């Protein structure tokens, strides 16, 4: 288990389950059942650690791409790229941060809902199941600092996602600028647009157990 997008002191972050040898559960139904049992927002099965081939599941569905699993597994495997059903994700490590490079069209659909202040975002209650909402507001627009919370809108026991790389990628693509996002209770996500429609997403990763 990893924690991905940890805060500056190593706290917070979104939990990620990783099955390092995906061959122990080759069947998709078995993988989905384990992901549901573990209950993390995502669980990753590594099918080829040298090539970086991975398979990503939430407790209820399989994802072609997701941000925090790719950032976490990229750090764990220390490979230059990850192969997902959506496409090949670039990976780089700079010591403190693990970075991926991906495209906005690979991300699952999210509703990016802007609020007038960080205080409004902090005061939000969990909405009923339905659409996947990324609630955000500027903390300091000139500096690119954003306050965000994520509500998956699924009936799978995860009311709020602590840190969401795919939604941060979508927001960066929409705004066209680098962002420093504080999400959830205190997780940190860094992003930067790149040439030709690519976006970098980075954060700290810690091995929990």
Give the CA distances from residue 31 to residues 126, 131, 171, 209, in Å, rounded to whole numbers and listed in that order. Answer: 28, 25, 30, 20
Domains and CATH numbers, the chain: 2-207 (3.10.310.10)
pTM above 0.85, yes or no: yes
Which of 90, 91, 92, 87 minimizes the C-alpha distance to 106? 87
Predicted local distance difference test score (pLDDT) of residue 102: 98
Dump pLDDT digits (tens) for 62-105: 999 999 999 999 999 999 999 999 999 999 999 899 999 999 99
Dump pLDDT digits (tens) for 147-185: 999 999 887 788 999 999 999 999 999 999 999 999 999
Average pLDDT value for the chain: 96
Helix (H, G, I), strand (E, B) or coil at 179: strand
Predicted local distance difference test score (pLDDT) of residue 155: 78
């Amino acid at each position: 288990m990893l924690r991905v997008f940890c805060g500056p002191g190593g706290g917070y972050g979104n939990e990620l389950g990783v099955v390092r040898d995906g061959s122990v559960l080759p069947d998709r139904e078995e993988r989905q059942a384990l992901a549901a049992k573990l209950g993390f927002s995502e669980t990753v099965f590594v099918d080829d650690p040298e090539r970086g081939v991975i398979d990503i599941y939430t407790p209820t569905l399989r994802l072609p791409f997701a941000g925090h699993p790719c950032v976490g597994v990229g750090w764990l495997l220390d490979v230059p790229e990850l192969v997902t059903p959506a496409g090949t994700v670039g990976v780089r490590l700079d010591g403190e941060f693990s970075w991926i490079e991906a495209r906005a069209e690979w991300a699952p659909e999210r509703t990016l809902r802007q609020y007038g202040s960080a205080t409004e975002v902090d005061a939000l209650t969990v909405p009923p199941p339905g659409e996947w909402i990324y609630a955000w507001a500027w903390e300091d627009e000139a500096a690119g600092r954003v306050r965000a919370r994520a509500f998956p809108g699924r009936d799978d026991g995860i009311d709020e996602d602590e840190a969401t790389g795919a939604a941060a990628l979508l927001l960066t693509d929409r705004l066209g600028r680098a962002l420093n996002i504080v999400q959830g209770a205190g997780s940190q996500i860094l992003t930067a647009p790149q040439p030709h429609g690519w976006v970098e997403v980075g954060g700290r990763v810690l091995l929990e157990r």
